[in-house]
């Protein structure tokens, strides 16, 4: 573990509050636009928290300096604070700590811990001269990482030749060890209550895999049913041993990873679907067609409209049958064009991204207030 040098210019700069409030034109719900600069903005991927548990800061990525940098919206005064000034940030690798003290991210060929009070960056480990991610812009190519609920363990997939090495990093002591090697490892997620259980996405033809933290037990709780079944966008359901996933475009299911028991959650065509902290609701965006963002009652499966981001939702492959049976397919699907809705820790707000005005900006929709 080694400390980085002194902060560069721009790091720590505070930008005035940019937010503006309006009512959704379709549902009437109150919405707040969080960012306004004419550049790309987005929050972490939909299963990665953008807030700490106490909701002191909202962590986001902004390209306003000419390249991707970490920013935070201070929830006390709405100011935007620039947290990094780097040339090599892997913008989808970011994972805020749950206690609000740090943000973890990969940059170059190393894994870093950022102290949110001092903005000191500490290199936890280096991975050598490796590709880090597979080629492309979806799945394992995004470089998403996983942090345990106690903030102790950070799991980072790293591409090394024809295989992906799953590194486990001790966030307190630094250093890492490879605990699993597979052909592909994408979208890893620690169970929200069990820091010994990790989901990861395998090949697109057989997505759902689980492993223990030592890599000693690896299993496939839900092999897909047929060659046309499209399994994607998984997320743990808090308080259960179930993993929710999208059976595109037929709805959402949940599988008990211990028993393999599977059930339908909804027949609504959810695209990216995040579960709230209570495990009772989901929020999802939609595409082909875009019906806006919906809230789903996981007890009844009923979906109701929340707001209409109007994002461009790039990715024409979502409009057809499963395209990956014969291997990888080149797709154009920049992730900042997708809403990726996500609940706040208190379950009262939904954060999403929209490029409806030409640049991807960050928004939040109030769930508690009644529509205007």
Q: Residue 47 maps to which CATH number? A: 2.130.10.10
The average pLDDT across 243-247 equals 98
Render pLDDT for 135-187 as a digit per residue (tens, 0 to 9): 554 544 689 999 999 999 999 999 988 899 999 999 999 889 999 999 999 99
Peptide bond into 301 cis (omega under 30): no
The reported pLDDT for the residue numbered 272 is 98
pLDDT for residue 161: 86
- 30-56 pLDDT tens trace: 999 999 999 999 999 999 999 999 999
- Domain range for residue 114? 10-321+332-366
If you average pLDDT over residues 254-282, what whole number do you get? 98
Residue 372 lies in a domain: no
Q: What is the pLDDT of residues 179-230, one digit of tens each?
A: 999 999 999 999 999 999 999 999 999 999 999 999 999 999 999 999 999 9
> pTM score > 0.85 for this model?
yes
Inform me whether the pLDDT recorded for 134 exceeds 80. Answer: no
Burial 324-353 (b: 16+ CB within 10 A, else e): eeeeeeeeeeebbbbbbbbbbbeeebbbbb
Q: How many domains does the chain contain in total?
A: 1
Angle at 293 between CA 291 and CA 299, to 5 degrees: 105
pLDDT (0 to 100) of residue 239? 96
The phi, psi pair for 358, rounded to 5°, reads 105, -30
Residue 282 lies inside a defined structural domain of this protein: yes
Residues 6+ apart with CB under 8 A from 267: 250, 251, 301
Residue 5 lies inside a defined structural domain of this protein: no
Residues 296 and 267: their CA atoms lie apart, in Å, by 10
Burial status of residue 310 (CB atoms within 10 A of its CB: 0-12, 13-18, 19 or more): middle
Count how many residues are written for the chain.
Answer: 372
| CA gap 290, 271 in Å, rounded | 10
Answer whether residue 1 is part of any domain.
no
């Amino acid at each position: 573990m080694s400390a980085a040098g002194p902060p560069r210019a721009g790091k720590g700069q505070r930008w005035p509050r940019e937010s503006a409030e309006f009512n959704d034109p379709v549902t009437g719900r109150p919405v707040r636009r969080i960012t306004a600069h004419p550049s790309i903005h987005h929050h972490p991927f939909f299963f990665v928290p953008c807030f700490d548990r106490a909701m002191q800061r909202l962590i986001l990525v902004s390209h306003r300096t000419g390249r991707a940098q970490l920013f935070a919206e201070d929830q006390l005064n709405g100011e935007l604070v620039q947290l990094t000034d780097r040339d090599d940030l892997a913008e989808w690798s970011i994972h805020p700590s749950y206690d609000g003290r740090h943000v973890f991210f990969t940059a170059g060929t190393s894994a870093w811990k950022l102290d949110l009070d001092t903005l000191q960056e500490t290199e936890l480990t280096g991975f050598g001269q490796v590709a880090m991610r597979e080629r492309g812009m979806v799945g394992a190519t995004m470089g998403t990482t996983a942090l345990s609920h106690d903030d102790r363990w950070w799991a980072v997939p790293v591409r090394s030749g024809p295989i992906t090495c799953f590194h486990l990093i001790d966030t307190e002591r630094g250093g890492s060890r490879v605990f699993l090697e597979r052909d592909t490892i994408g979208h890893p997620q620690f169970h929200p209550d069990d820091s010994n259980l990790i989901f990861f996405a395998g090949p697109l033809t057989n997505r759902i895999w689980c492993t223990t933290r030592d890599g000693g037990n690896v299993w496939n709780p839900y092999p897909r049913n047929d060659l046309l079944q499209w399994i994607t966008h998984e997320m743990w359901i808090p308080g259960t041993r179930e993993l929710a996933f999208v059976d595109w475009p037929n709805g959402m299911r949940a599988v008990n990873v211990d028993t393999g028991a599977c059930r339908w959650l909804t027949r609504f065509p959810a695209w990216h679907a995040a579960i709230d902290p209570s495990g009772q609701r989901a929020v999802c965006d939609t595409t082909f067609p875009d019906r806006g963002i919906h809230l789903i009652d996981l007890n009844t499966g009923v979906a109701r409209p929340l707001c209409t981001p109007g994002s461009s939702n790039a990715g024409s492959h979502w409009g057809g049958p499963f395209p990956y049976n014969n291997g990888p397919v080149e797709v154009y699907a920049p992730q900042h064009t997708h809403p990726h809705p996500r609940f706040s820790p208190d379950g009262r707000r939904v954060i999403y991204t929209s490029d409806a005005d030409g640049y991807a900006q960050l928004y939040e929709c109030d769930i508690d207030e009644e529509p205007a």
